[in-house]
Amino acid sequence: MIFNDKYTKQFVNKKEIEAIKPFVEVADKMLDDKSFLGSDFLGWMDLPKDYDKEEFERIKKAALKIRKESKALVVIGIGGSYLGARAAIEFMLPTYYNQTNDVEVYFVGTNMSPNYITDIYNLVKDKDFSVNVISKSGTTTEPAIAFRIFKKLLEEKYGEKEAASRIYATTDKKKGALKTLSDKKAYETFVVPDNVGGRFSVLTAVGLLPIAAAGINIDDLMNGANQARIDLSNKNFFENDAMKYAAIRNILYRKGKDIEIFVNYEPRLQFIAEWLKQLFAESEGKDLKGIFPTSASFSTDLHSIGQAIQEGKRNIFETIISVDNVINDIVIEKDEEDLDGLNFLAGKSLDYVNKMAKKGVVLAHVDGNVPNIEISIDKINEYNLGYLFYFFEKAVAISGYVNGVNPFDQPGVEAYKKNMFALLEKPGYEEETKKIFERIDNEG
């Protein structure tokens, strides 16, 4: 992985770097000491080295079983329980992989749309399929509803005993509704570690089982993450990319750049950006602070939000994630009529054109007062993906501490749930139900 900050130089000077450097170093030491805010959730830090080797082998064995007996895998989870796995699968597999891969992978429990769930239901009902339900408690509304639906379909299709052999539960080691049901029904279970928060869980069974079931090499994924762990343990600020990234982000934030756009020029990176949005928003957006993360896919979005990026409010910066070497390339051919005026590109590859577009956009946006940070990997593979996952986890942890927040909690996530449960008249919410309906009536 290469970290390039040259397009931030006119926005961040050396004196500012030197001024924030001690705070970044202290934040990094806080992680190492494991004795500060959120220290109970630092299991991800040494995970690439100290993961449960026995469970890891069971994950690979279960993945082979799924691939052997199922045409489709339904992954049920929300937030950190699915974003990492989907990011990895979308990154590693060809576009429209469900039309070409040995095992189709569908994600449900991510919303409460009856249209969406019905569409997936109809796709898998006549196929041999398995389910991986991912929930530490088993009571999170969206995945719990989806699991009810697909568990019933499995049991009707195969009978209760065979259905149980096709259900894989990733949940708490000892307690919770899903763990209780799994023990009762004899589902094979995998562990959501107590010391790894959901958005940091992609390298646990949460992410690894669906990733492996899709045919992706999880040994290489963990090796890449472990190399990042080694590299980012370097205490020399100027040789540690996670420290530098955290420092630059925080300097820009203090100058009013409070929106970070994760930009890609490769569609396979789109769900990496979705994973990043959760990782950074839940880690930093609290106590009325934090950089707001969003994403854009170029050159597509240059034709929609490009104007606002170029000349709109100057409160944004971009972090570009790119791949240096493509898997496939296309050479543009000469056309005798040249009605589209593109013969000047004849003989050039499409990847070359894409890279020139990126360079042109970066220069234009920097000239328009939008700082750009570039992060690149040499090619699409599991090793590089594992490295990226760990890099961003380490960077956001440091960045959160520098900004004076606990990067490992998410108290605001619960606010909407209280209102939703009150409106749905969930038992135990009687007083809240009364108050919220009175409020709705009073507001007309």
Dist CA 95 CA 89 (whole Å): 10
- What is the pLDDT, as a whole number, of residue 411? 78
Distances (CA, A) of 363 to 8, 13, 202: 11, 19, 34
Using left for φ > 0, alpha for ψ between -120 and 50, and beta otherwise, residue 404 falls in: left
Q: Which of 216, 243, 277 is the last residue of a domain?
A: 216
Q: Give the pLDDT of the chain (444 residues) as one tens digit per residue.
A: 999 999 999 999 999 999 999 999 999 999 999 888 888 999 999 999 999 999 999 999 999 999 999 999 999 999 988 999 999 999 999 999 999 999 999 999 999 999 999 999 999 999 999 999 999 988 888 999 999 999 999 999 999 999 999 999 999 999 999 999 999 999 999 999 999 999 999 999 999 999 999 999 999 999 999 999 999 999 999 999 999 999 999 999 999 999 999 999 999 999 999 999 999 999 999 999 999 999 999 999 999 999 999 999 999 999 999 999 999 999 999 999 999 999 999 999 999 999 999 999 999 999 999 999 999 999 999 999 999 999 999 999 999 999 999 999 877 666 666 777 776 677 877 777 877 776 777 776
Dist CA 197 CA 132 (whole Å): 19
Q: What is the CA radius of gyration of the chain?
A: 23
Distances (CA, A) of 264 to 194, 267, 274, 390: 33, 7, 12, 19
Tokens 């925080």 -> residue: 250
Distances (CA, A) of 421 to 141, 178, 426: 10, 20, 5
Residue 284 in any domain: the answer is yes
Residue 426 in any domain: the answer is no
Residue 418 in any domain: the answer is no
* pTM of the predicted structure, to 2 decimals: 0.94
Residue 169 burial by Cβ neighbours in a 10 Å radius (0-12, 13-18, 19+): buried
Q: Distance between alpha carbon 361 and the CA centroid of its chain, in Å?
A: 25
Same domain, 349 and 229: yes
* Residue 65 structural domain: 46-216
Same domain, 178 and 122: yes
Q: Which of 181, 216, 251 is the last residue of a domain?
A: 216
Q: How many C-alpha atoms does 244 have within 13 Å on its Cβ side?
A: 20
Dist CA 287 CA 236 (whole Å): 30
In terms of Cα–Cα distance, which of 213, 256, 270, 242 is closest to 373? 242
Catalytic residue at 417?
A: yes
Same domain, 144 and 11: no
CB atoms within 10 A of CB 230: 12
Length of the chain measured in residues:
444
343-378 burial string, b = 16+ CB within 10 Å, else e?
eebeeeeebeebeeebeebbeebbeeebbbbbbebe
C-alpha dihedral (186, 192, 194, 196), degrees to nearest 10? 170
Dist CA 50 CA 56 (whole Å): 11
Q: Which of 186, 216, 246 is the last residue of a domain?
A: 216
Are 294 and 328 spatial neighbours (Cβ–Cβ below 8 Å)? Answer: no
Q: Which of 90, 282, 374, 382 is catalytic?
A: 282
Same domain, 26 and 157: no
Dist CA 408 CA 283 (whole Å): 6
Residue 68 in any domain: the answer is yes
Residue 423 in any domain: the answer is no
Q: Which of 127, 161, 417, 435 is catalytic?
A: 417
Residue 409 in any domain: the answer is no
Same domain, 279 and 381: yes
Same domain, 283 and 193: no
CATH number of the domain within which 297 lies: 3.40.50.10490
* Per-residue three-class SS string for 243-263: HHHHHHHHHHHHCCCCEEEEE
Same domain, 210 and 159: yes
Same domain, 164 and 23: no
Same domain, 193 and 284: no
Same domain, 300 and 346: yes
Catalytic residue at 311?
A: no
Residue 415 in any domain: the answer is no
Are 372 and 362 spatial neighbours (Cβ–Cβ below 8 Å)? Answer: yes
Tally of domains in the chain: 2
> Which residues, listed in sequence order, are joined to residue 223 by a DSSP beta bridge?
none
Residue type, 190: F
- What is the pLDDT, as a whole number, of residue 328? 93
Same domain, 286 and 392: yes
Residue 438 in any domain: the answer is no
Are 78 and 110 spatial neighbours (Cβ–Cβ below 8 Å)? Answer: yes
Same domain, 244 and 286: yes
